[in-house]
A = this chain, B = another copy of it.
């Protein structure tokens, strides 16, 4: 089956293709009475939209969102919110040569195998343009979070591009908005610009690692077994195009740790338990601890490259594929606002689930309270 919905209570269904008339998201389950207008969503779309620097695809899409339902006089009504974004700058002729061709590393071949046919225009449904719809939905989630749990702040940034990692000693969140790479390290931004220019001129592309942090998430949200907070975050990030791995807190490095190293020691802070470290990435047993929720994921390099790669045509004939057209040399850059949006949706969803079961938007059991 084709499942295009995520979320348990705050449910987002995206629709649309890269070169169809429009794409969008149907957002169901939003709390009523939340202040919402198009501009509150547009600000996040503007972060993701293409063509803002030489480091992303030169396709020019205004990515202007229309709210078609679910909002009345600037407030959500509790009914489904339809967010539509018209496609404007489709140049389908750029893609004509790949109609019967399968780009190595791309979903061309698997879509054909799965469905027996596919929309080849710009990658159809498999295009990263789908992520605009997620960012729009994330804008709704952020508006609801701001109303329900004002302290939540969600920030994504790149920590690696190809072999180049940020220097954590230079880490400065304020830098993120100042460069084309959403990178919290001014020196890295400068270095990466040169490195990416070289990659692009070489007809190549490069992978990336993104980190997303949610601050101010109350303790106690999540679920104990299959819809754990980390499980849903892993699925949310892995569902973004080109993502090949997801980790929480210490992540893959946890394999190398001992129990003594891994145990985040606990002490009492002024407002509740406080941890001396955050190997857990803010999640224990699928449930938030109240620390920063820290997720990291790897984005593979764009498979649409100008360097010839061996492939086959639909009828099996061997061929060499060189992808023309406008593509991101590092698709990871634009994954940053997408990941923030997914984080916002998941956090909101779990807050609503906790409220359903317990009545609280946070912890029910208060550590340090008199019993």
Residues of B within 8 A of A228 (CB): 238-239
Residues of B within 8 A of A163 (CB): 256
What 1/0 flags go to A65-86 for Cβ under 8 Å of B? 0101110100101111110100
Contact A252 B79 (CB under 8 A): no
Name A296-319 residues within 8 Å CB distance of B: 298-305, 307, 309-312, 314-316, 318
Residues of B within 8 A of A371 (CB): 314-315
Contact A285 B126 (CB under 8 A): yes
Residues of B within 8 A of A208 (CB): 255
Residues of B within 8 A of A355 (CB): 355-356, 359
Determine, out of A39-47, A171-179, A182-190, A229-237, the stretch whose residues face the partner at the interface: A229-237
**Is A146 part of the binding interface, using a Cβ–Cβ cutoff of 8 Å?**
no
**Is A95 part of the binding interface, using a Cβ–Cβ cutoff of 8 Å?**
no
Residues of B within 8 A of A75 (CB): 117
Contact A255 B299 (CB under 8 A): yes
A231 CA to B70 CA in the complex, in Å?
Answer: 22
Interface size on A, residues (CB 8 A): 164
**Is A26 part of the binding interface, using a Cβ–Cβ cutoff of 8 Å?**
yes
Closest B residue to A162 using CB positions: B256
Copies in the assembly, this chain: 4
Residues of B within 8 A of A14 (CB): 80, 225
A9 CA to B355 CA in the complex, in Å?
Answer: 11
Contact B16 A266 (CB under 8 A): no
Contact B300 A247 (CB under 8 A): no
Contact A265 B162 (CB under 8 A): no
Contact B223 A107 (CB under 8 A): no
A114 CA to B239 CA in the complex, in Å?
Answer: 27
Partner of A224 from the list B126, B160, B315 (CB cut-off 8 Å) is: B126
Contact B113 A226 (CB under 8 A): no
**Is A5 part of the binding interface, using a Cβ–Cβ cutoff of 8 Å?**
yes
Partner of A245 from the list B28, B33, B247 (CB cut-off 8 Å) is: B247
A204 CA to B257 CA in the complex, in Å?
Answer: 10
A6 CA to B232 CA in the complex, in Å?
Answer: 12
Contact A29 B2 (CB under 8 A): yes
Residues of B within 8 A of A22 (CB): 68-69, 82
Contact B247 A252 (CB under 8 A): yes
Contact B260 A125 (CB under 8 A): no
Tell which of A109, A257, A314, A352 has the most Cβ of chain B within 10 Å. A109
**Is A150 part of the binding interface, using a Cβ–Cβ cutoff of 8 Å?**
no
A116 CA to B366 CA in the complex, in Å?
Answer: 7
Contact A285 B77 (CB under 8 A): no
**Is A205 part of the binding interface, using a Cβ–Cβ cutoff of 8 Å?**
yes
